Amino acid sequence: MPRDTTQDTKTAALYRMIMPEHTCPFGLKSKNLLEREGFRVEDHPLRTREETDAFKRKHDVKTTPQTFIDGERIGGFDDLQVHFGKKDADDDGLSYTPVIALFSVAALTAIAFTWYAFETLFTWQTLGWFVSISMILLGLQKLKDIESFSTMFLNYDLLAKRWIRYGYVYPFVETGAGILMTAMVATWLSAPAALFIGTVGAVSVFKAVYVDKRELKCACVGGDSNVPLGFVSLTENLMMVAMAVLMGIATIA
């Protein structure tokens, strides 16, 4: 006789906003996570603002969605991640994921350029393109919200603290130098520019992290970054310095 598995099915009750003008994205994520964990979801849509507010008052919560398992309230999506061990309860949100993704894309793009130009996967030029493409991508992250970038930048950059407008100029210089270096033109302009901002940046990061021992977020991937200020930021600036020096030497030679 086939075994009845209905008794083994885990059930969770999920209360989430599904309104004509808005479907809560965290509700969708919660439902998906529960299903991936093998739960049958009893979906309870909250279809009006009044219904949502009444639910919050009843359960004394400030946000939705809310998940209940075996009658116990687990909480919102973040709480659900902690419950299933997907996230540390003490997680401070800091992550190197953005820069890992950015540098990975830069490396693959440099390899693609190399294959197109030389029909091989790697030459010394690949390293140069990797650095210059990284500069372009990092600059774009800053340009998407210059105000937020400049605010975070002021926490540690020595020149920006003395000349506020430098925080607004920096993203344009980094992006522009990266574009010129990728095209391998106007080295007389791109190399000194990259050397200047890279040197100032490296000194600023070294002082803030290794001398003053400050724990800050890095503005390297924009003002909304959760990347810790430290080795990655220092590496970014040193790469610019190295690229500028090598291109300057190659031009002179």
Banded pLDDT at 50 (limits 50, 70, 90): very high
Q: Which pLDDT score, from 0 to 100, does residue 3 have?
A: 41
Instruction: Give Cβ neighbours of residue 208 (< 8 Å, ≥ 6 apart).
Output: 155, 156, 214, 216, 229
Residue 108 in this model has a pLDDT that exceeds 80: yes
Q: Is 135 exposed, middle or buried (0-12, 13-18, 19+ CB in 10 A)?
A: buried
User: What's the pLDDT at 235?
Assistant: 87
Matching residue, tokens 């990347």: 227
CA dist 65 and 59 (Å) reads: 12
Is the pLDDT at 90 greater than 70, yes or no? no
The predicted-structure confidence for 126-136, as pLDDT tens digits, reads as follows 999 999 999 99
Provide the CB-side half-sphere exposure for 54 (13 A, CA). 7
**Half-sphere CA count of 238, side-chain side, radius 13 A:** 8
**Is 223's pLDDT higher than 80?**
no
**Is residue 7 predicted with pLDDT exceeding 70?**
no
Is the pLDDT score of 5 beyond 80?
A: no
pLDDT digits (tens, 9 = 90+) for 132-162: 999 999 999 999 999 999 999 999 999 999 9
Q: How confident is the model at residue 1 (pLDDT cuts 50, 70, 90)?
A: very low
Q: Which amino acid is at 114?
A: T
